[in-house]
Structure 1
């Protein structure tokens, strides 16, 4: 079940990792279907502090949870009502995207996008509650701002002329504007507080993320790459900082990042259970000691430290082993030459002592001189005058070479 694609066209977004918490809902409607995987004619999603918590699209037509704690804490009635609400909004968008196309003098054959984003921001208080900080209710058409609500003055703002007719109509209904204000300041804040509580309880029993700093040699002599990988993240609220002395390194200084990516999904593949993030930088090996890392997860420093010097990489180890093997083979060759030379000297000595006594019978049988030769070649039980301990040394040497 795909997560769909969101066309982010608004000028205001929640800030990740800040003390301000945000609950928002984004609805996206296309003027016609497109043959692109994961892109639907209508999608809707709830987002809590940049984490998707629920999802709906025009294909499955079911509101589903995107966080484990959402599925655990909210019953079937909540999801049934949510599905009905999303279906109604899908029909509303289908009608209104056509109205705007006509108002903009756009042909029906083209692809156009209408989006609605609304939500609230809360600021933590000393007593643990969340106080309303701001609310937003915005519409965009084809990527441009179309209409937005001003909660302070209880009126709509029309940045383009085509939106003025809608502004007048909605401003004439103070009941509508008061309802919008009430939703942003009260109902939305109630859900934000509730969802934050659910999420916090769900995260309390989760293990701390794993932090894996690693230094690796490069093909460039005198340089190393520093990696800091953080895994097992249950939210996206994480920062990995790399410092050179007291200076926080950025992309301009050569820091690269994988971005926060899902690393583990639920059994049905619809929810990301954990995330991971890796940042890296290439430096001079001589500067290794002045670099350090810091990992901040959900506002707390989880890990901080320095990198250890890179261990011997496989390529360098193979070269060293190869050189040692060549040296060993050369030594073994020298031993073999000396061994053969000693055998030759013993054979010559035997032949000289045997030459005057050598006789051959007509039937090919051995005579006494053959026995004398055998005795001379078998000194201490081993051929060619090599003692048993010496032979064992040669066997041991060959055995070591095989290993």
Structure 2
């Protein structure tokens, strides 16, 4: 079962009129190479800042001015983050004892936030937990009860359902406070939240037998999809989709590979690669064209030419050497004649 937390966090199909504010928490006590507690805030799937147990709060560069002008927001995040850190760490310890987990590092994830439709005004909140990569609990805001995703979560569900004050506090945040935060962030960040940057798209191939990679880089935001088509129909077989990765300049890159080992030369023109960026109507279509492929491998024709040239050079060298030896032999006098001349100088 795929974790709902990951699906919600990575979903790129976002309606143009539906906006979201999401908080993604991760608690991993005992982890050596990463902070044991991290929370990241997203507006319309774009990170606006994060907090971790090592260095505290850090807004993204586009949001630094907002939090400087609204220090109460940053203080609210700091207090909430510290409180959630202690709560999640204690919850992991409780679950480890309940599930008889005495060793190893375990991970507790939490995703909460709200969505607001700026056309209908509809508001939806969500509060979900995952444990060790699997769904664990989710709050039903209609009934204000917790839904257990697996039998091991039932005891926690019963315990949390009994905490009426905590459930009401959750409801107030998801229905009132979270939407107000979201609208305030949208007013401030609408200019750069709606900014879109199209990528440059290239065809890449390591060797003649390697898949052809359709590579897009430099796009923003990260709500994008890319796929291969044949005769206008999206392909799934022989295609290896990649993940959206960040660049150093806050833009993103994405690749999708196509296995061309069974594609005949006359069929190449039937394939193309399509890049789609959310909120941009025009798509970037790149035809599968051998002449447009960028590669670092040496073409066979070039190799043959190099070998041929080497053979010619070697042949010329040998001929020159033979001619030089022959010339030297002709120039050199006969040993017997020279000796005779020295013995008979008068002859």
Normalising by the smaller structure, the TM-score range is 0.7 to 0.9
> For 2:195 and 2:142, how far apart are their aligned partners in 1?
40
State the distance in 2 between where 1:89 and 1:121 align: 21
SS class of match (1:264): coil
TM-score, normalised relative to structure 1:
0.64
In structure 2, runs of 5+ residues without a counterpart are 334-340
* DSSP-derived class of the 1:13 partner: helix
Q: Is 2:82 aligned against 1:93?
A: no
User: Is the 2:196–2:219 contact (alpha carbons within 8 Å) kept by the matching residues of 1?
Assistant: no
Question: 2:192 matched to which residue of 1?
Answer: 202
- Is 1:187 aligned to 2:177, yes or no? yes
Q: Which has the higher contact order (CA 8 A, sep 6+)?
A: 2
Is the 1:263–1:276 contact (alpha carbons within 8 Å) kept by the matching residues of 2? yes
1:24 Cα deviation after fit = 1.5
Tell me whether 1:299 sits opposite 2:279 in the alignment. Answer: yes
User: What is the match of residue 395 of structure 1?
Assistant: none
Larger Rg: 1
The match for 1:384 is none
Q: Matched residues in 2 for 1:123 and 1:343: separation?
A: 97
1:235-284 residue CA offsets vs partner (Å, 9 max, x unmatched): 2211112111122112xx1112332112216xxxxxxx122111121222
- SS of 1:314's equivalent in the other structure is coil
Change (3 A) 1:188 1:344: same
Provide the residue aligned with 1:257 in structure 2.
241
Q: Give yes or no for the alignment of 1:116 onto 2:114.
A: no
Shift of 1:339: 10
CA drift of 1:207 comes to 4.8
Deviations, residues 299-341 of structure 1 (Å, cap 9, x unaligned): 3234113133247952421322321442465478679989999
**What is the match of residue 161 of structure 1?**
154
1:247 aligns with 2:233: yes
2:133 is aligned with 1:152: no
**Do residues 44 (structure 1) and 39 (structure 2) align?**
yes
Q: Is the 8 A contact 1:214 1:307 kept in 2?
A: no
In structure 2, what is the Cα distance between the partners aligned to 1:108 and 1:340?
A: 86
Asked if the contact 2:35/2:53 (under 8 Å) is kept, the reply is no
Q: Which residue of 2 aligns with 1:24?
A: 22
Please report how far the alpha carbon of residue 295 of structure 1 lies from its aligned counterpart in structure 2 after TM superposition. Answer: 0.9
Does the 8 A contact of 1:232 with 1:275 survive in 2?
A: yes
CA shift at 1:64, angstroms? 1.2
Q: Does residue 316 of structure 2 align to residue 318 of structure 1?
A: no
CA distance in 1, matches of 2:101, 2:307: 72
Could you give the per-residue CA deviations for residues 73-128 of structure 1, whole angstroms, max 9, x where no partner exists? 331713344223212222333444445556x3747767555443211123453xxx
Check conservation: 1:158, 1:164, Cα contact below 8 A: no
Question: Aligned ranges for residues 54-69 of structure 1 at < 5 Å?
Answer: 54-60=49-55, 62-65=56-59, 67-69=60-62
User: How far did residue 12 of structure 1 move?
Assistant: 6.0
Q: 1 CA distance for matches of 2:192 and 2:253? A: 19
Establish whether residue 278 from structure 1 lines up as the match of residue 255 from structure 2: yes
Rounded Cα–Cα distance in structure 1 between residues aligned with 2:106 and 2:312: 73
Residues 164, 226 of structure 1: alpha-carbon distance in 2 compared, 3 angstrom cutoff: same
Deviation sequence 1:315-372 (CA, Å, 0-9, x none): 4213223214424654786799899999999x9xxx9xxxxxxx99x999xxxxxxxx
Distance 1:336 1:84, change over 3 A: same
Native 8 Å contact 2:197 2:219 kept in 1:
no
| Cross-structure match for 1:373 | none
Of 210, 229, 246, the residue aligned with 2:215 is 229
CA 1:323–1:53: 2 relative to 1, 3 Å? same
Seen in structure 2, the aligned counterparts of structure 1 residues 122 and 139 have a Cα distance that, compared at 3 Å, is same
| Alpha-carbon separation, structure 1, partners of 2:312 and 2:7 | 69
Aligned residues: 322
